Chains A and B, each alone.
Chain A
């Protein structure tokens, strides 16, 4: 994929101690200044992939490669990981209420994060915190920094968390469903913010189940299903011309916001497999309307055109 990627995940597998395989071989890249949307339904492995990059899954066995800025993170000692985490790779979560400590002001928590990674005194750290909150569009940032998480609205709390994540100017920002708990009007504000962060040169990995969010905030998209990436490519291409039958079905199931109202929404029969009963062939085959005998062999994620990949026999050479 051209120049060296900021984040290059190759064939990432994740196993439980009892041998159950949660990720079946995830591969994708995030370039500098690019936002990759990782979409898929609950249980598809989106968040597990993100947590693996952050090195936040003790007890699970990871194999494959997670190369960040030239360094493989798989098997990296926790001490080295701690230097990256927060400083060069930052993460924001769906629920800022549980991500902040309830008994300290948000300013104190952002100050702490800054001083952990940078040689600043308290006053300098607070100045930076206030500046960051202001940049995130928090009104009266000096006052807001003194508030406790429960005193802020959901939108302001999410801004504060983004401010904390950006406090050390990370190269990669991982956002796990950052707007799912927010109202659409507040979501629109946060998506605009994510765009600006990307324009300033950070790489973004945005986990979501909302195709509209992907379209607004991302340059590229990877579609996950049952622990695998089944399709990936530039956002416009994938949304306008989805190749994998799962991507097609997922897009078709969204009720339209304009035009004629369909009598019935197209649905995907059945439900995703659990790790124990995941098919040995194509993982989507049991629910796929194009299923055929050669789906019994797991298809590889092959390049169909410049920058686009899909794992489906329909596109095998």
Chain B
């Protein structure tokens, strides 16, 4: 599979005033292949949304670069980025905020087609509604007339309008009820199979991620701590943080193990050494001083830990 999107040593920092700097994304390198589904997982504040937005050019990285289809897109002006926008789109969590409430959804879906000078607009809108499993007649209705699940289908249709190669979906199902969530999870699977579109899913729900993603990157305090095949990472976690995240998911079949202590440290003032060492159940003295880099660990897998749980 060829590489569609590549991030090289990406950094994203926000200045907070008083000389303080928030390190949202720190030294992230990753690849997304054509048609692949990559999931970014981690707790709130770990930088997964910042990374997603930086990958797609919605925010500019502080340093490092993003290559799309072999071309450098980071640092481009908004105008220069516009042709690339058609090829990468974002699906937002809150589908009710993603549509103009005063326009019919058909008008909203048609707008990008007009801006990009496409022909046969009505036929394209019909095709999109078919693809996301909605009746063509809904094009004449307004966003408030739809249920949450239907609106998320429209939200996906909106992202697909220009036929992108890549979707970045930020928590696409976390606001939905379980039964509707299952429908949208299936829809993503169908769309990837039929359209071959690559997806970066940002999610905190590991069971959803396991169902949706080919590959998983686990983030902690702005950095990737483990990356690899989805089932491999979740079924045999190598990083103690991945294991702690999995252990914390309440399941019907076993009692909760003792939870991780404390909260995620502040990204303004991250711990020395391995950033996870303050909460890690197996931390050694070395972890407080030496920062582990992301090293290969088995096939197609990388882990940033001095003492990985699997060799």
Contact = CB atoms under 8 A, between A and B. Distances in A.
Interface of A: 41-42, 139, 153-156, 183-189, 191-192, 209-213, 215-217, 239-240, 249-250, 253-258, 261-268, 271
The B interface, classified by DSSP as helix, strand, loop or mixed, is: helix
B140 interface: no
Contacts of B231: 261
Given A250-B179, A253-B178, A257-B207, A183 B185 contact: no
A255 B207 contact: yes
B214 to A, nearest CB: 11
Contact of A215 (B177, B210, B252, B263): B252
A250 B248 CA distance: 22
Nearest to A274: B147
Contact of A212 (B147, B245, B252): B252
B210 A257 contact: yes
Nearest to A40: B177
14 contacts: A41-B180, A42-B177, A183-B44, A184-B43, A184-B245, A185-B248, A188-B259, A191-B250, A216-B250, A257-B210, A257-B234, A258-B234, A268-B179, A271-B149
Given A184-B249, A257-B251, A216 B256 contact: yes
B235 A258 contact: yes
Contacts of B268: none
Interface string B177-198: 1111111011001000000000
Nearest to B183: A267
Contact of B252 (A42, A211, A267): A211
B147 A254 contact: no
Nearest to A263: B189
A254 to B, nearest CB: 6
B179 A249 contact: yes
- 6 residue pairs, one from A and one from B, having the closest CB atoms: A212-B250, A188-B259, A255-B211, A41-B177, A215-B252, A253-B182
Interface string B90-106: 00000000000000000
A192 B258 CA distance: 9
**Interface size for chain B: under 10, 10 to 19, 20 to 34, or 35 or more residues?**
35 or more
Interface string B159-184: 00000000000000000011111110
Contacts of B44: 154, 183
Interface in B260-276: 260, 262-264
Contacts, number: 111
Contacts of B183: 267
B113 interface: no
Nearest to B259: A188
Contacts of B249: 184, 212, 257
Contact of B260 (A185, A268, A271): A185
A184 B248 contact: yes
A154 B251 CA distance: 22
Given A250-B178, A268-B179, 7 more contacts: A183-B204, A183-B264, A185-B248, A187-B250, A191-B250, A215-B252, A240-B252
B244 interface: yes
B250 A215 contact: yes
Contacts of A215: 250-253
Given A213-B250, A254-B207, A188 B147 contact: no
Contact of B178 (A192, A254, A257, A264): A254
Contacts of A210: 250
B215 to A, nearest CB: 14
Contacts of A211: 252
B251 A212 contact: yes
Contacts of A265: 182, 185-186, 211
A264 B246 contact: no
B208 interface: yes
A240 B252 CA distance: 9
Contacts of B245: 184-185
Nearest to B263: A153
B83 interface: no
A217 B252 CA distance: 10
B172 to A, nearest CB: 14
A267 B186 contact: yes
Given A183-B204, A257-B207, A188 B250 contact: yes
Nearest to B230: A261
B237 to A, nearest CB: 12
A239 B252 contact: yes
B149 A186 contact: no
A200 to B, nearest CB: 18
B256 A191 contact: yes
B240 to A, nearest CB: 12
Contacts of B234: 257-258
A253 B182 CA distance: 6
A263 B185 CA distance: 11
Contact of B208 (A155, A186, A250, A255): A255
B204 to A, nearest CB: 6
Contacts of A187: 248, 250
Contact of A185 (B185, B255, B259): B259
A209 B207 contact: no
A121 B207 CA distance: 50
